[in-house]
Amino acid sequence: MTLAEAQDLFAALVTGEHPVDPAAREAFLVGDAGLSASERARIYSEMYLFRLVDALREDYPLLARLLGDEEFFSLCADYVRAHPSRHPSLARLGGALPGFLRDRAAPRADLSDLAALEWARAEAFVAPDAGPLDETGLRSLGEDAASARLVLVPSVRLLSLEYDAAALWADLDASREPPLPRPGAASLLVWRKGFEVFHAEVSPEELSALSAVQRGATLGEACEAFAALPDPARAALDALASWSGEGLIARTDR
Partner 1 sequence: MAFQRAHLGHGIGLRSKHYGRFLDERPEVGWIEAISENFIGVGGRPLAVLEKARRDFPVVLHGVSLSIGSVDPLDRRHLAGLRALADHIQPAYVSDHLCWGTHRGRYLHDLMPLPYTEEALDHVVRRVHQVQDALGRQILLENVSSYVAFRGSTLTEWEFVAQVAERADCGILLDVNNIYVSARNHGFDPREYLSAIPPDRVGQFHLAGHSDRGTHLLDTHDAPVADAVWDLYAAAVRRFGRVPALIEWDDHVPELERLIEESRAAEAVEARALAAREAA
Which of 192, 204, 201, 118 is closest to 164 using CA atoms? 201
When asked if residue 23 is in the footprint of partner 1 (CB under 8 A), the reply is: no
Q: In terms of CB distance, is 127 or 167 closer to partner 1?
A: 127
Residues in contact with 64: Cβ distance below 8 Å, sequence separation at least 6, in sequence order: 56, 57, 72
Q: In terms of CB distance, is 4 or 105 closer to partner 1?
A: 4
When asked if residue 86 is in the footprint of partner 1 (CB under 8 A), the reply is: yes
When asked if residue 218 is in the footprint of partner 1 (CB under 8 A), the reply is: no
Name the packing angle between helices 3-15 and 37-59 (round to 10°).
Answer: 70
Which of 96, 51, 92 is closest to 73 using CA atoms? 51
When asked if residue 77 is in the footprint of partner 1 (CB under 8 A), the reply is: no
The single residue among 91, 106, 141, 170 that binds partner 1, judged by CB under 8 A, is 91
Closest approach, Cβ 50 to partner 1, in A, equals 10
Cα separation, 90 vs 98, in Å, equals 17
- Residue 94: CB atoms within 10 Å: 27
Q: In terms of CB distance, is 34 or 184 closer to partner 1?
A: 34
Which of 246, 252, 239 is closest to 207 using CA atoms? 239
Q: In terms of CB distance, is 27 or 229 closer to partner 1?
A: 27
Amino acid 218 reads T
Fill in the per-residue mask, 177 to 206: x = in contact with partner 1 (CB under 8 A), - = not in contact.
---------------x--x-----------
Q: Collapsing DSSP states into helix, strand and coil, what is residue 150? A: strand
When asked if residue 44 is in the footprint of partner 1 (CB under 8 A), the reply is: yes
**Cis amide linkage into residue 132, ω under 30° from 0:** yes
The single residue among 55, 56, 223, 239 that binds partner 1, judged by CB under 8 A, is 55
| Cβ atoms of 152 and 210 closer than 8 Å | yes
Q: Which of residues 110-139 bind partner 1 (CB under 8 A)?
A: 125-130
Residue 91, beta-bridge partner list = none
Q: In terms of CB distance, is 121 or 165 closer to partner 1?
A: 121
The footprint of partner 1 (CB under 8 A) covers 1-4, 6-8, 10-11, 14-15, 27-30, 32, 34-35, 37, 39-41, 43-44, 47-48, 51-52, 55, 84-91, 93, 125-130, 154-155, 192, 195
